[in-house]
């Protein structure tokens, strides 16, 4: 299982445009065969910060996600919208 978060920080005045681009990723990504979780959150204390919580069945499913036309289009559309590069954090689930 591949678990990760991806956090985006919009430049001042670009929050709504970034939010629209990120929300547009939800429906198609959730339809990908290897996607098991794809949720987008906006920071309650900072409306410029958005975080995806993502889960894919395996590395191949994640790699396939990164090749999708809508994902490639998102990356191309981010130019000028972000305060900094997105932060991607891969997580390992722990169990008792």
- Number of compact structural domains in the chain: 1
Residues 39-86: tens digit of each pLDDT: 999 999 999 999 999 999 999 999 999 999 999 999 999 999 999 999
User: 3-class DSSP state for residue 12?
Assistant: coil
Q: Residue 49 in contact with residue 8, Cβ under 8 Å?
A: yes
Residue owning tokens 């959730």:
30
Task: Read off the CATH number of the domain in which 37 is found.
Answer: 3.30.70.100
Q: Does residue 64 sit within a domain? A: yes
68 lies in some domain: yes
State how far the Cα of 21 lies from the Cα of 14, in Å rounded to an integer: 11
Domain membership of residue 20 as a residue range: 2-91
Q: pLDDT at position 21, please?
A: 98
In the chain, the percentage of residues whose pLDDT exceeds 70 is: 100
In a domain, 16, yes or no: yes
pTM here is: 0.94
Answer whether residue 96 shows pLDDT above 90.
no
Report yes or no on 9 lying in a domain.
yes
Average pLDDT, the chain: 97
Query: Do the domain assignments include residue 96?
Result: no
């Amino acid at each position: 299982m591949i678990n990760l978060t991806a956090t985006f920080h919009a430049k001042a005045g670009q929050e709504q445009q970034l939010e629209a681009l990120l929300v547009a990723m939800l429906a198609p990504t959730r339809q990908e065969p290897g996607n098991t979780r794809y949720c987008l959150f906006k920071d309650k204390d900072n409306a410029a910060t958005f975080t995806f919580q993502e889960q894919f069945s395996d590395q191949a499913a994640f790699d396939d996600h990164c090749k999708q036309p809508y994902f490639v289009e998102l990356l191309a559309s981010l130019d000028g919208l972000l305060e900094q590069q997105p932060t991607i954090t891969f997580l390992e689930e722990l169990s008792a």
